[in-house]
Structure 1
Amino acid sequence: MSALPRPASGPGSRYTARAATTRHRPGRHTDVATLARRLTDRDMWLARMLHEHQVLTTNQVTRLAYTSLRSAQRRLRTLHQYGVLDSFRPLTQSGSAPEHYTLGPAGAALLAAYAGLDLAALGWRPTHTGRIAYSPSLGHDLGVNELLTHLAAHSHADPSTGLDLWLSERSCARRWGDIVRPDAYAHWRDAHLSLPFFLEYDTGSQALARVEAKLAGYAAFAAATSTRPALLLYTRTQSRDQALRRRLDKAVRELDLDVATSSADFTTTDPWGPWWAPLQPGARRTTLRGLAIHWPDLGAASGLDPTDADTVLTLPVSALPLARGDGA
């Protein structure tokens, strides 16, 4: 796609979709059958991940699927040349940002064929990358993916831990949107313990009252489904974390919810660590494993079983590829 004009101010002013202006791509796309023979299982996994989670940075893809940044960059460039991926790079005040990857035209055609759907039914449009690059929610969406890719990739260091399930905001809305609309839903595993949780990623842009109003939906979900996942509230700063805790304490107790909070000031690159504080008086920060022990009655959300309405592309994607390495 050609570069989009960047507004002088407002949403999208910091981003430019620049893939076709700075990277060579053949004038016509390879047909799907030929392309499929060039792709590995890991490539197909990445296409499905980008369909599910919309945008991943080079660092996030490397974290999940490669053993080195250089090998990831090499393969991502090849997939971009094939048209499987599109990309853009945010403009920053200083330094440079990593490439941000989205599903490209050939990748969308391939997934549509894989699922037996028309391209329109997949929801992909030629403006797909531009819409993501200019979206005012881009920073929020990247923050959600940053947190959860760290959790998923921890399985490389410790196979007894990791994410057994990771659903995007879109998948959550498709399953439970009439009651709750979390930013993600996931199952954290630590040996024999499991922590099913909804995630609310708070950037600080919403009024505290609006965040509080969401709690009623989670209480209604628990009552309507007789299932009880935890609710994790993740903020960008410790001061916002403390403000939320003061505001939500009474409502959480009255609604009988299992809520824990943390912030980027604590977690950095190890969000599984002792950074999460249950929202109750006198609670100390603990690990995700500690939360699972603290709340022994937690259960997975209802509505996760496949139905006749599902296609191969609406079923959950594994948080990690089957194979991780340096080769193509």
Structure 2
Amino acid sequence: MPALPRPASGPGSRYTARAATTRRPTQHIDIAALARRLTTRDLWLARMLHEHRVLTTRQITRLAYTSLRSAQRRLRALHHHTVLDSFRPLTQTGSAPEHYTLGPAGAALLAAHAGLDTAALGWRPTHTGRIAYSPSLGHDLGVNDLLSHLAAHTHTTPTAGLTLWLSEPSAARRWGDIIRPDAYAHYRDGDHLLPFFLEYDTGSQPLARVEAKLSGYAAFTTATNTRPALLIHTRTQSRDQAMRQRLVTTARELGLNVATSSADFTTTEPWGSWWAPLQPGAHRTTLAHLAAHWLALSPASGLAPTDADTPLTRPVPPLPPTAPKAEW
């Protein structure tokens, strides 16, 4: 893949796709031979990267492996066979983790399973470079980090975790004429189900624009007669407080179930008592308590498969199969 020019300033200046300059010469990919060597977990990971674009080593380990070392060993093997591609962002201090994307062999494999070619899949040789230089990289990683923690919660608490996780493109494909959330997910804790849209706020948008999005969610509720919650996650507690002051009246007038939190609270346990319903005097509580408190919640419409769906447009399970075959 040819290297992309790095801009002199702006978000793209901080990232470099190492694979863009170290890619081995393109070789013929024997899909049949490769498929025989891949486990169900490998195929799941390829689908996850097609769905969510980029995951770090630690995010993948959190979701699918019992140790960082075993994850790194397998990821290196998948990278060697071009099932995966990768890059490392440049950082001011220290080193960033490896960031994995879908590689050419992975794209060819998924396309073959779906009866498509890689162009129809949306994959291009510049795929990794474009993700590495994307201004939305930090935002996308933040969304994936938050939701991968929720999904992996099942490893320690089998009755809790994500049962559904749709990316921004998947949500847009279903509801883009009304709303464009950063993700849609179902969090279950015991008997309590919290279907929610996620708005992941990095502080780059004025509060007036965030407020304007609420009318879209109200329109979605009216048009579909379904009522998912809306979770808004911000970078800092001060941004969270400013947003709550700006949105509380609008949310009440529109009849929306909204809760907010920030990275100052959620860290590695976003299911905990860090979410405050958007109403005066509300205390922070858990996602399970929100589901129990908001009795009128219901999953979004448009989740059932249709004739227009392919194996690649159906939701990917948030966690991989539990018993992969022996790995090479």
| TM-score interval, normalised by the smaller of the two chains | over 0.9
Contact 2:272 2:287 in 1 (8 A): yes
Q: 1:166 maps to what in 2?
A: 165
- CA RMSD in angstroms comes to 1.4
Determine if the alignment matches structure 1 residue 6 to structure 2 residue 6.
yes
Q: 1:72–1:326: 8 Å Cα contact kept in structure 2?
A: no
Q: TM-score, normalised by structure 1?
A: 0.97
Unpaired segments ≥5 residues, structure 2:
none
1:35 aligns with 2:34: yes
Contact 2:18 2:86 (8 Å CA) reproduced = yes
Q: 1:299 to 1:208 in 2, by over 3 A?
A: same
Preserved contact between residue 2 and residue 126 of structure 2 (Cα < 8 Å): no
Amino acid at match of 1:147: L
Question: Mapping of 1:135-174 within 5 angstroms?
Answer: 135-174=134-173
Deviation by residue 1:160-198 (Cα, 9 ceiling, x = unmatched):
001000000000000000000000000000011100000
1:260 matched to which residue of 2? 259
Q: Does the 8 Å contact 1:197/1:229 carry over to 2?
A: yes
Structure 1: distance between partners of 2:111 and 2:11: 31
**Structure 1 residue 5: deviation in Å?**
3.2
Distance between the aligned counterparts of 1:247 and 1:286, measured in 2?
21
Matched position secondary structure for 1:307: coil
TM-score (normalised: structure 2): 0.97
Describe the superposition over 1:84-136 as per-residue Cα deviations: whole angstroms up to 9, x where unpaired. 11111000000000000000111000000000112111011111111111100
Provide the residue aligned with 2:61 in structure 1: 62
SS of the residue aligned with 1:182?
coil
Determine the structure 2 residue equivalent to 1:195: 194
**1:50 equivalent in structure 2:** 49
> Could you say if the C-alpha distance between residues 3 and 70 of structure 1 is closer, same or farther in structure 2, counting changes exceeding 3 Å?
farther
Aligned length: 327
Q: Deviations over 1:53-84 (max 9, x none)?
A: 00000000000000111111111111111111
Letter in 1 for 2:140: D
The one-letter amino acid paired with 2:43 is M
**Alpha-carbon contact 1:71-1:326 (below 8 Å) kept:** no
Which residue identity is paired with 2:120?
Answer: A
CA separation of 1:26/1:37 partners in 2, compared to 1, >3 Å: closer, same or farther?
A: farther
Paired letter, 1:187? H
Equivalent position amino acid for 1:102 in 2: T
Can you give the 5+ residue segments of structure 1 that lack an aligned partner in the other structure?
A: none
Code of the residue aligned with 1:11 in structure 2: it is P
Q: Distance in 1 between matches of 2:294 and 2:107?
A: 41
Show the counterpart of 1:294. Answer: 293
Q: Within 2, Cα distance between the matches of 1:234 and 1:324?
A: 34
What is the match of residue 15 of structure 1? 15
CA–CA separation in structure 1 for the residues paired with 2:28 and 2:64: 26
Equivalent positions of 1:207-226 (< 5 A) are: 207-226=206-225
Contact 1:2–1:18, Cα closer than 8 Å, also in 2: no
Q: Percent identity?
A: 78
The structural deviation recorded for 1:245 is 0.1
Deviation at 1:293, TM superposition (A): 1.1
Q: CA deviation at 1:327?
A: 6.2
Looking at structure 1, the residues matched to 238 and 324 of structure 2 have their Cα atoms a distance apart, in angstroms, of 40
Residue 281 of structure 1 is matched in structure 2 by: 280
In 2, distance between residues paired with 1:20 and 1:176? 35
C-alpha contact 1:67 1:325 (8 A) present in aligned 2: no
Q: How does 1:207-246 map to 2 (within 5 A)?
A: 207-246=206-245
**Are 1:194 and 1:292, in contact at CA under 8 Å, matched by a contact in 2?**
yes
CA deviation map 1:15-55 (0-9, x unaligned): 111126457x4751431111101100000000000000000
Structure 1 residue 323: Cα displacement: 2.0
Task: Give the residue type in structure 1 aligned to 2:9.
Answer: S
Partners of 1:75 and 1:45 in 2: CA distance: 14
CA distance in 2, matches of 1:258, 1:214: 14
